[in-house]
Amino acid sequence: MGRKPKTEEPQVLNRIEELRLAKGLSRQELADAAGVHYQTVGYLERGEYSPSLSLALRIARVLGEPIETMFWTVEENSHA
Amino acid sequence: MHEIVVIGLVALQLALGYGFVYPKFAGDNQLRLLWLDVLTMVITLGVTGLLYANKNLDFSLIFFDTEWWIFTIAVGAILEVPLYLHYTRKREMKHWNKHGKIYWIEGVTESEVTRALSDTKYNRLRTRRARLVLVSLGLGSVGMMYASAFLGAYGKLSTYLEGIGLLSSLVLYFILRSSVRIVADAPDDLLDERQIAVRNRAYLLSYRTMFFPLFGLLILQMGNLEMTFFADPQVGVIDGGALFIATAMLMAALPSIFVALGDKGEDGIGLDLSAGGNRL
């Protein structure tokens, strides 16, 4: 059984921007705390890049939110 | 005979360098050693140029004949390796200095990459439009070098085309590198996971793209056309040296080109070069 083509993979959405703004953090500050480049935070917030589990956990820790309430897929969204 | 003179000049340069100049002015600073080495090599090239430029002499590098400046650089590189290794071992230089770690394989320093990643000074070079212009001009310069290989019949035009193409592609290569924040050449340690993915994707695309110029060169070889390497251009003869340099430049620049096309610039616009998904 192979991996699904990327086009068939559900897009991962998140609340990073909302939580970051609520915490009063700039992209640069969040990027520094999570150990990534500030452009990567932009990619994550726009849903254009799906983070690894390790990065997702780091961001969740910085923003003080459980990971499961921060990330979800488009499929889950439509089922909700 | 002229080969012996150049070997003697290079030996003198290295003896003065490693015997006096480097211990006194570079000590155990790698970067300073590197710059002083470039400087002494430029001086040696200047002297050999004064002696042999425009003399139409071939210098034998065992397998093929070449021009004075290539011979000088090649002899310098061959003679210098053992001296350099001895110098750095004797001083227990661990390739670290005040400018941070040097990544020899990638050809970058830690501070250079760190600075490029956080730099905002050259953001005008990092917009989608600027990157497209840089990529187009760079490919045009490489194209000029390729074209010069087939224009031996036009003598000076071929030489000028090759020279201008080489110079402009080198300059554009460094500007493009800066435009993509050296992501294409940076080691894993200094990039985040998305940048590593972007870089790796760029290398995959570069590897696949290189098939085309290499296949073209193979076709030329199969055509049994007459080809020279690093000799004066002649009518009806393909300049293999120009083809080689153009292909090498293309190979060096392609990863940065694909990063430039695929990664979003400071204006948030970029092409999706991924295999159809939402990430590179």
Model confidence over A18-35: pLDDT tens digits? Answer: 999 999 999 999 999 999
Tell me, what's the pLDDT at B280? 38
Amino acid at B32: R
Joined tokens for residue B116 = 């490029």
B276 inside 8 A of chain A by CB: yes
> What pLDDT was estimated at residue B233?
59
| Maximum distance among all Cα pairs of chain A, rounded to whole angstroms | 45
A5 vs B contacts (CB less than 8 Å): 275-277
What pLDDT shows up at residue B249?
94
Indicate the range of B34-43, B79-88, B208-217, B236-245 predicted with least confidence: B236-245
Residue B269 backbone phi and psi in degrees, to 5: -120, 135
Look at residue B274 and tell me whether its pLDDT is greater than 70: no
User: Own/partner pairs for B100-108, CB < 8 Å, 24+ apart?
Assistant: B102/B30, B102/B31, B103/B187, B105/B187, B106/B185, B106/B186, B106/B187, B107/B185, B108/B182, B108/B185, B108/B186, B108/B187
From chain A residues 29-48, the ones with a CB under 8 A of any chain B CB are 35-37, 39-40, 42-43, 47-48
Instruction: Please tell me the distance from the alpha carbon of residue B227 to that of residue A9, in angstroms, as a whole number.
Output: 51
Residue with token string 């050259």: B122
Ranking A5-14, A62-71, B121-130, B193-202 by mean pLDDT, the lowest is A5-14
Report the alpha-carbon distance of residue B202 to residue B82 in Å, rounded. 35
Nearest to B275 among A6, A50, A52 (CB): A6
Distance of CA B29 to the CA centre of its chain: 23
Q: What is the mean pLDDT of residues B86-92?
A: 83
Interfacial A residues in 60-79 facing B (CB < 8 Å): none
Cβ B252 vs Cβ B173: under 8 Å? yes
How confident is the model over B207-218, as a mean pLDDT? 93
Where is pLDDT greater, at B98 or B258?
Answer: B258
Query: What is the nearest CA distance from A40 to chain B, expressed in angstroms?
Result: 7
Global pTM exceeds 0.80: no
Banded pLDDT at B232 (limits 50, 70, 90): low
**Inter-chain residue contact B192 with A37, CB threshold 8 Å:** yes
**Interface probe with B: pick from A29, A43, A54, A59, most Cβ of B within 10 Å:** A43
Mean pLDDT of the B130-149 span? 94
Residue B31's pLDDT is 75
Is B279's CB within 8 Å of A48's CB?
Answer: yes
Q: Which of A30-39, B89-98, B126-135 has the lowest mean pLDDT?
A: B89-98
Q: Which residues of B touch A39 (CB under 8 A)?
A: 263-264
Per-residue pLDDT, B278: 38
How far is the C-alpha of B234 from the C-alpha of B55, rounded, in Å? 16
Burial class (CB in 10 A: 0-12, 13-18, 19+), B217: middle
Neighboring chain A residues of B194 at a CB cutoff of 8 Å? 36-37, 40, 43, 49
